[in-house]
Amino acid sequence: MPATDSGQRWVFGFPGGLTAEVHTRGARLHALWVPDRHGTPADVVLAPRDPARTADTARYFGSTVGRYANRIAHGRFSLEGTPYQLATQETGHCLHGGPDGFDTRLWEAESVHTPERTGVLLHLRSPDGDQGFPGNLDVTVSLLIGRDGELSFSYAAVTDAPTPVNLTNHAYFNLEGEGAGDILDHELTVDADHYTPVDEELIPSGDHRPVHGTAFDLRRPLRIGEAQARPGADGGYDHNFVLSPHDDGTLRRAAVLHAPATGRRMEVLTTEPGLQVYTAGQFDGSVLGKSGTPYRSGAGVALETQHFPDAPNRPGDPSTVLRPGGEYRSRTVLRFGTRL
């Protein structure tokens, strides 16, 4: 666990299985080596070659984002009759917790190891008023690899005042290998009957709509390039998909990503009600990846398990409010395998 500009660097895994590299600045998944159908490992997580880029155009790559993943319109919401104004980005909205969100922070870390699981436990204290959010918030995130080929993300938080909380990991994946090209030939399945339409500023523009008959129907495996070329997708996705509800906190399948070229397959399971699919249409080559390849449009895909965008302003959506005496809990599992 040597110290770098990215804080401490933790590498963990099992021989013949998955191996991860996590940085404590941003509680960031920097790399993940996954075997292909022939047993040959490759790093499938995008990250910049220069760690300093995580302070600008690559700031969310692999990071834990919060206090509130996704967008809060105009950075404003009311809670129990009190209005709050959050810090906002240049768009005028609050994205991923604000301009100084959890992705910029140096998290404390300790190792976790059992015969079947190995990884790292990270902790962060977010003080009252942080980016405009009320209450002191204590957050823990664990990233654990199992001998069974799974990478799990477990989140927990407690507060001393009511506050919205919505945490996720913002990794971009390319199952052909980081820097191998684009993900247009990857097949994607999303287990969602509805999605969240957005306006030109990516703020929800109305109620959830059925995916049937739209560009957002990904309930059967479809090449990403083919899917996002359909009318209505505007050449790419940056949308929330509404997953089938489970109210007991159990994991359910949200998505499957498959790269036919390598056979690698990633199944996404989560306790969260939503999945933000972002196919990196805004990548313009300005970020040089770990392999030295510029990341261009479609270089990876983010599958962010979370609550819904702008939920603090939408009473009909599942609540994101955490109160004193309660505990925020969320879990997402990435299950890896191969196909011939």
Question: Would the pLDDT of 89 be above 70?
Answer: yes
pLDDT at position 246: 62
pLDDT tier at 5 (50, 70, 90 boundaries)?
low
Model confidence pLDDT, tens digit, residues 270-289 = 999 999 999 999 999 999 99
Model confidence pLDDT, tens digit, residues 125-144 = 999 999 999 999 999 999 99
Specify the pTM. Answer: 0.95
Largest CA distance in the chain: 59
pLDDT tier at 244 (50, 70, 90 boundaries)?
confident
- CB count within 10 Å of CB 129 equals 11
Contact between 132 and 86 under an 8 Å Cβ cutoff? The reply is yes
pLDDT tier at 331 (50, 70, 90 boundaries)?
very high
Model confidence pLDDT, tens digit, residues 211-226 = 999 999 999 999 999 9
Residue 191 per-residue DSSP state? -
pLDDT at position 266: 98
Residue of 268, 291, 295, 264 lying closest to 279 (CA atoms): 295
Across the range 317-339, mean pLDDT stands at: 97
pLDDT at position 254: 98
Cis previous bond, 220, omega within 30: no
State the Cα–Cα distance between residues 78 and 84, nearest whole angstrom.
Answer: 6
Catalytic annotation, residues: 170, 304
The larger pLDDT score, comparing residue 56 to residue 34, is at 34
